[in-house]
Amino acid sequence: MSAPRILMQRALDRPADSWTLAAYEAAGGYGAVRKALDMDPGAIIDEVKKSGLRGRGGAGFPTGTKWSFIPREIDKPKYLVCNSDESEPGTFKDRWLLERDPHAVIEGMMIAAAAIGCRLMFNYFRGEFSYPAKRFMAAVEEAYAKGYLGKGIFGSDYDLELVTHVGAGAYICGEETGLIESLEGKKGMPRNKPPFPAIEGLFRSPTVINNTETLAVVPWILEHGGDAYAQYGPEKSHGTKLWSASGPIRNSGVYELEMGYDLMTFLEEDLGGLLDGFGLKGIIPGGSSVPVMTPEECRGARLDYEGLRERGSLVGSGGFIVIGDNVSAVQCLLNLAHFYAHESCGQCTPCREGCGWIQQLMHKILEGHGTQRDLEQVLRISDNMAGKTICALADAMAWPAVAFVKKYPEEFAELLTGPVDLDAIRAAVGRVDHILPKAS
């Protein structure tokens, strides 16, 4: 059975005013939260667990399970935070939803709040999202005016407030504990875990943080049931997912695909293939932090959590970056190293120094002054970063570094000065590629 566009159809049907309350309600909006308010919180969580929904921000953690970690009987407020910090290079799907269907995000937040017993929730926008935040705040005002937010929502005795919080430019604030620090008014430096946010999160209270897309799909699940959602996609990757497609392709943009969709069909049919004059070098399927795939690895790959792992990569945030044959792998890695060096928050030495060293070495290699020792040094540094820091930013640098060298060793070798032994480079990759994601 092929899945409907659970997230995008509403907005595609009414391009002129899909973001308004009138449009959302005409499509049945705010029916699911009414239903949820009559349910036991445990029953809401069970429905989401049944759906198999996994977090769409990058880590893919089961959403219902995350909600169930919030302690029921505790004398502290509980907080829900929607993570609209969308900053993973290659990703622009949350922006699409926030601009075109903000009420779906609000309703999803309300349902999550009801499930965990939260009375004050936040939507954290990246600072550059002035326009999505403006659309969202207008939608929040509409919801307050109708009594859907505020005191006694929908005539119940449940008070629920929503604060829109706009950041100020920092990739690391998309990491959930970095986001918490930022929302508390500090530098967005991630916290050591445990304690996990479900126990001590925002203001040291139990907190759930979910990605925007994850929350936007929750009303559909409540309305149609978890089983209805779970019927789409393969066994461990249920439902649909938004993919942001960029690079030299004919039809760039946001797409909603049923989990398990064939990667090459997506590239050649939905995206229309590459622009005239470009050949395919590789694809980064899940945002810049996940390993790049060669054309051979792309053929026959399935776009879902297990399918991409089998090919050595990840769904991540669904930032589908198509790389043409007009750029070198070395240039791509230098570009990403510049990004991670700029965005490292600086509190962990392996990440703060490692990202910068990789950037400098890649620059040296691209300029034609690098030696084989320099390239092997990049690999050793990556091995000393992955899994050795408070958050995953170091891994997000180390994975692309090792993956680009592993998959395009000739392109690196070509630029090196002095004696070059391709087999020795491959052997050096072999000593560190255990850090890359493996099939589960």
Partner 1 sequence: MSQDASRRVDEIIARYPRKLAAMLPVLWEVQRENGWISPEAMEWVAARLECSPSAVQSVVTFYTMLDDRPVGKWKLQVCRTLSCELMGARRIIDHLRERLGIEPGETTADGMFTLQEVECLASCGTGPMMQVNLKFCENLTPERIDALLDELRGREPEWDDVEPLIYERPTAEEYLAMLPRSIEPAESAG
Site residues for partner 1 per CB under 8 A: 77, 86-92, 94-95, 120, 126-131, 134, 163, 165-171, 182-188, 203, 244-248, 252-254, 275-278, 284, 288, 319, 321, 323-324, 326-328, 331-332, 335-336, 338-339, 342-343, 345, 366-369, 415
Q: Sign of dihedral through CA atoms 56, 57, 59, 62?
A: negative
CB 432 within 8 A of CB 382: yes
Shortest distance (Å) from residue 38 CB to partner 1: 29
Shortest distance (Å) from residue 380 CB to partner 1: 23
CB 155 within 8 A of CB 64: no
Closest CA to 287 of 256, 342, 243: 243
CB nearer partner 1, residue 65 or residue 335: 335
Q: How far apart are CA 189 and CA 184, in angstroms?
A: 11
Shortest distance (Å) from residue 43 CB to partner 1: 29
Shortest distance (Å) from residue 331 CB to partner 1: 5
Shortest distance (Å) from residue 235 CB to partner 1: 31
CB 214 within 8 A of CB 53: yes
Shortest distance (Å) from residue 132 CB to partner 1: 9
Shortest distance (Å) from residue 281 CB to partner 1: 10
Q: How far apart are CA 351 and CA 319, in angstroms?
A: 23
Q: How far apart are CA 201 and CA 124, in angstroms?
A: 14
CB nearer partner 1, residue 49 or residue 165: 165
CB-based burial label for 340 (10 Å; 0-12, 13-18, 19+): buried
Q: Can you spell out the DSSP letters for 375-432?
A: HHHHHHHHHTTTT-SSSTHHHHHHHHHHHHHHH-HHHHHHH--S---HHHHHHHHHHH
Shortest distance (Å) from residue 65 CB to partner 1: 27
Which residues, at least 6 apart from 20, have a Cβ–Cβ distance to it below 8 Å? 139, 142
Which residues, at least 6 apart from 102, have a Cβ–Cβ distance to it below 8 Å? 19, 132, 135, 136, 138, 139, 140
Using only the alpha carbons of the chain, give its radius of gyration.
22
CB nearer partner 1, residue 195 or residue 368: 368
CB nearer partner 1, residue 217 or residue 336: 336
CB nearer partner 1, residue 163 or residue 439: 163
Centre a 10 Å sphere on the Cβ of residue 186 and count the other Cβ atoms it contains.
10
Shortest distance (Å) from residue 120 CB to partner 1: 7
CB nearer partner 1, residue 229 or residue 412: 412
CA 341 to chain centre: 20
CB nearer partner 1, residue 294 or residue 331: 331
CB nearer partner 1, residue 127 or residue 295: 127
Shortest distance (Å) from residue 323 CB to partner 1: 7
* Biggest CA pair distance of the chain: 77
CB nearer partner 1, residue 15 or residue 155: 15
Distances (CA, A) of 433 to 292, 405, 438: 13, 10, 10
End-to-end distance of the chain based on CA atoms, in angstroms? Answer: 26
Shortest distance (Å) from residue 345 CB to partner 1: 8
CB 44 within 8 A of CB 116: no
CB 136 within 8 A of CB 60: no
Q: How far apart are CA 5 and CA 102, in angstroms?
A: 16
